[in-house]
């Protein structure tokens, strides 16, 4: 009871502290299975609770004015999990992408949804629904949600390198002109995604796990590691993460003033 009264006040205090809002936040949603295990639940319940948290976080980010969110939903390493869990996860992904087609929030707020990752690794029926969700939102440009499925950072760069080599082979691209902008333009099937300003990882694990190495690590994004498992992530945790980004930006500003 006391917590329910204090938390809104603390949320307002945190929001008051923040001057700079990141343009692009990337989230490593870690801890669904551990949360379920500690609650005596099956892992599938943990994933569903995590999906509920994702929807809340997207709403909170929209309120703050964060225009780009990238969610690390399923890595290339996650294919090592047992077949039952994979089937449950793919069923959940199908359900959530299908819901995008009729989600009033998506269409009211003009949110574009797209997948990043290796499409060749995903089931055809899931890809069909992902394609439908992408087409239904492709004309929106107010907010952007990138869902990383079958994603691996090194794999992403390998695919970009192959695409660049193919253009060189066909005479479209002069090797002498290749620079970082060239590589960036070939990431994620050429979709324009801005550099990451802030990475958030839940679950008390302090690593970035091969996530967006070019757009995040290459651009020196701020990183916020926190203890709560993803299903227990709160608006307060998001605001604390944004405060870390804000502090970094204030430090850069003060350093610039001294220079």
Structure tokens, 120? 């060749």
Q: How far is CA 242 from CA 23, 32, 83, 102, in A?
A: 11, 22, 37, 30
Please report, in angstroms and rounded to a whole number, the separation of the first and last CA atoms in the chain: 50
- Residue 78 bears catalytic tag: yes
Least Cα distance to 58 among 135, 112, 115, 118 occurs for 112
- Residue 118 bears catalytic tag: no
Q: How far is CA 181 from the centre of its chain?
A: 22
Q: How far is CA 196 from CA 4, 216, 220, 227, in A?
A: 33, 5, 8, 22
Give me the sign of the Cα torsion angle 178, 183, 184, 189: positive
Give the SS3 label for residue 25: strand
Under a CB-based contact definition with an 8 Å cutoff, are residues 29 and 71 in contact? yes
Choose, from 42, 78, 155, 210, the residue flagged as catalytic: 78
Under a CB-based contact definition with an 8 Å cutoff, are residues 62 and 109 in contact? yes
Under a CB-based contact definition with an 8 Å cutoff, are residues 113 and 105 in contact? no
Q: Would you name the residues annotated as active-site residues?
A: 30, 78
């Amino acid at each position: 009871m006391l917590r329910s009264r204090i938390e809104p006040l603390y949320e307002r205090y945190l929001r008051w502290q923040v001057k700079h809002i990141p343009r692009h936040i990337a989230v490593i949603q870690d801890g669904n299975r551990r949360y379920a295990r500690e609650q005596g639940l099956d892992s599938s319940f943990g994933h569903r609770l995590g999906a509920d948290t994702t929807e809340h976080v997207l709403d909170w980010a929209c309120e703050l004015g964060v225009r780009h969110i990238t969610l690390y939903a399923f890595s290339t390493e996650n294919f090592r999990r047992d077949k039952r869990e994979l089937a449950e996860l793919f069923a959940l992904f199908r359900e959530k992408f299908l819901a995008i087609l009729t989600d009033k929030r998506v269409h009211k707020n003009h949110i574009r949804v797209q997948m990043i990752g290796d499409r060749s690794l995903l089931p055809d029926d899931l890809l069909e629904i992902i394609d439908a969700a992408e087409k239904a939102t492709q004309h929106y440009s107010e907010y952007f949600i990138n869902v990383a499925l079958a994603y691996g950072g090194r794999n992403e760069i390998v695919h970009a390198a192959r695409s660049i080599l193919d253009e060189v082979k066909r005479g479209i691209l002069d090797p002498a002109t290749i620079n970082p902008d060239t590589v960036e333009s070939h990431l994620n099937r050429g979709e324009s995604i801005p550099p990451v300003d802030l990475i958030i990882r839940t679950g008390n694990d302090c690593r970035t796990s091969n996530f967006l190495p070019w757009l995040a690590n290459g651009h020196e994004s701020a990183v916020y590691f926190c203890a709560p498992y993803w299903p227990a992530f709160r608006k307060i945790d998001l605001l604390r993460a944004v405060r870390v980004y804000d502090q970094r930006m204030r430090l850069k500003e003060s350093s610039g003033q001294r220079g």
